[in-house]
Amino acid sequence: MIKGFLWFLLLYMVPMLILSMVSAPIDFFQEYTTYIGVFAAIAVFFVVIAELLSKTVFQHACNIAKALVMMVFFVHALNGGFLTVNFETIRISVDLRVYLAMLLAISFLGLAKSALQTLNFLSEKITDDKLPTH
What tens digit of pLDDT does each residue of 7-45 get? 788 877 887 777 777 765 656 666 777 888 888 899 889
Residues 6+ apart with CB under 8 A from 1: 48, 51
Q: What are phi and psi of 56, to 5 degrees?
A: -130, 165
pLDDT in tens, 45-98: 998 998 899 989 999 999 999 999 999 999 999 989 888 877 778 888 889 999
Give burial (CB, 10 Å; 0-12/13-18/19+) of 33: middle
On whether the pTM is more than 0.85, the answer is: no
How far CA 91 is from CA of 79, 94, 109, in Å, comes to 16, 10, 35
